[in-house]
Amino acid sequence: MGAVTPNMLTRRYLAGAAALGARPARLVEVARQLIDLAATSYDGDCLTRPVFLEHAEFSVLRDDLLALHAALASLPARLFGGDVAAFARAVGMSGAQVTAIERADGRAPTRLGRADVFRDETAFRVMELNLGSALGGLDNAVLNRAFLTDPMVADFVASQGLSYVDTMDVLVGTLSAECGLPDGARPLIAIADWPESFPVLERQLRYSAALLAGRGLEAVPCHLGQLRATGGRVWLDGRPVDVIYRVFLIKDLLRPEARELADPVLRAAERGEVALFAPMDAELYGSKGALALLSDEANRHLFSAAELTCLDRVLPWTRLVRPGPVTVGGASQADMAEYALAEREHLVLKPTALHSGAGVIQGWLTSPADWRRELGAAMDGPFVLQRRIRPLAEPFPAENGPQPWVLWWGVFLGAPGYGGAIVRGSTDPDAGIKSMPHGATGTCCFHQARPTPPAPEEPVPGS
């Protein structure tokens, strides 16, 4: 597990907590008293403190993610002569997926997204950028608010000039802007999932609907089988729907029942009878295959020096799994299969369009024989290879002294730009990105929106 010298804000916080003799589990108890953690994205538990971003690191991370989004949005024009369908096929999409993407109205891709980010010795590095409305962690600010009821946290946040962004507010603003909702409107929003997964997600969707209701939007969870497209509108329980908030994914369009379930509402959206948030092309621009196109040295000549500075800092080496030569280490080339076999312990094999760690194979946890087999099955398919990033660990208060946790940052974007963050952690140094239900524990983030005057350094307790 890589060690890290905590930033100044974290050192100040830990020193202050030690000086006050604060119990390590205090904030966890506060959170459990004030909110039903099990109903939130934190899945019943949280870490013992927030994380903190100083102004300089926050600014670089924010600007790099916005530059990455802009670069992704430019790929059809820069690489495919404006042919979005060709772009979709190049990153591994096919059939009904390409057809649905072609139906999009040609607007820029949604700004709503979450970058899953590791921090190594040099920078924040983006493992994937998930764009679209089916994002986990949107309710992360409930923990910021709970932690702020603690006097020590409230005093620290105020004294250091810290703040947070409520991602649910960013969601509402982005949805309203991209769907053209007038100020003061109270549209009917159908939060639509696939019938098979709806029973599993219904509790979470109803919780999200309640959060939206508190922000002036009427949202009703449902599955696609409950929607009817007829008479120039889409209907739910006899009421006309204004916005379909899409929880089903583009991978669902390859199911046999997709023609019956999804096609009617997608065609209604194409005709302008209902707004679709986010449009089906969101997962195209959020595909790990799209990141591979940005990472490939063969495409560097298409980007400015300023763009390349951001991309080089934020993107690890990522390539589509294709037979033949591949660029490594700058302009040098190697055979893809030979390179992948030789570098097994430093590579991750990922499907281009799956989420929550599904289908991810970590080379360092895989035997050479299994890695060879998986690589052969992935060759020329919808998969990427990505260079392993070793995330640094941060100390968190624990009963026997500070405990190191490896962190994965889920950093949100939206119409205003930076959209808040949810942070997941594990004590396992070899873990890849995990969701809360699969072994991670979460916390919230406070950031320094503006620089503050320096203060004397304090030692880290227990260091």
Strands 403-414, 393-396: pairing is antiparallel
CA 197 from centroid of its chain's CA atoms: 20
Which bin fits 316, alpha (ψ -120 to 50), beta or left (φ > 0)?
Answer: beta
**Where do runs of H (alpha helix) occur along 116-166?**
141-147, 151-159
Q: Which helix (H) or strand (E) holds 208?
A: helix 198-213
DSSP string, 35-60: S-GGGSTTTT---SS-EEE-HHHHHH
Beta strands in 169-226, from DSSP E residues, in sequence order: 188-193, 218-223
Residue type, 59: S
3-state secondary structure 94-105: CHHHHHHHHCCC
Residue type, 427: T
Q: Is 226 exposed, middle or buried (0-12, 13-18, 19+ CB in 10 A)?
A: middle
Closest CA to 434 of 444, 426, 445: 426
Residue found under tokens 């927030």: 50
How far is the C-alpha of 419 from the C-alpha of 167, rounded, in Å?
A: 5
Structure tokens at 32: 């459990």
Structure tokens at 291: 């990141």
The alpha carbon dihedral of 82, 85, 86, 88 has a sign of positive
Q: Centre a 10 Å sphere on the Cβ of residue 264 and count the other Cβ atoms it contains.
A: 16
How far is the C-alpha of 295 from the C-alpha of 302, rounded, in Å?
A: 12
CA 26 from centroid of its chain's CA atoms: 29
Residue type, 162: L
* Predicted TM-score (pTM) of this structure: 0.92
Can you give the pLDDT of all 463 residues of the chain as single tens digits?
455 678 999 999 999 999 998 899 999 999 999 999 998 999 999 999 999 999 999 999 999 999 999 999 999 999 999 999 999 999 888 899 999 998 876 678 999 999 999 998 889 999 999 999 999 999 999 999 999 999 999 999 999 999 999 999 999 999 999 999 888 778 999 999 999 999 999 988 999 999 999 998 999 999 999 999 999 999 999 999 999 999 999 999 999 999 999 999 999 999 999 999 999 999 999 999 999 999 998 898 999 999 999 999 999 999 999 999 888 877 678 899 999 999 999 999 998 876 655 688 999 999 999 999 999 999 988 899 999 998 889 999 999 889 999 999 999 999 999 999 999 999 887 766 665 556 789 999 999 988 875 555 555 544 4
Q: Is 126 within 8 Å of 116 (Cβ atoms)?
A: yes
Q: Which helix (H) or strand (E) holds 34?
A: helix 26-34
Q: Which helix (H) or strand (E) holds 25?
A: none
Residue found under tokens 């449009």: 279
Residue type, 263: D
Helix axes 288-295, 55-73, angle to 10 degrees: 100
How far is the C-alpha of 276 from the C-alpha of 267, rounded, in Å?
A: 11
DSSP, res 347: E
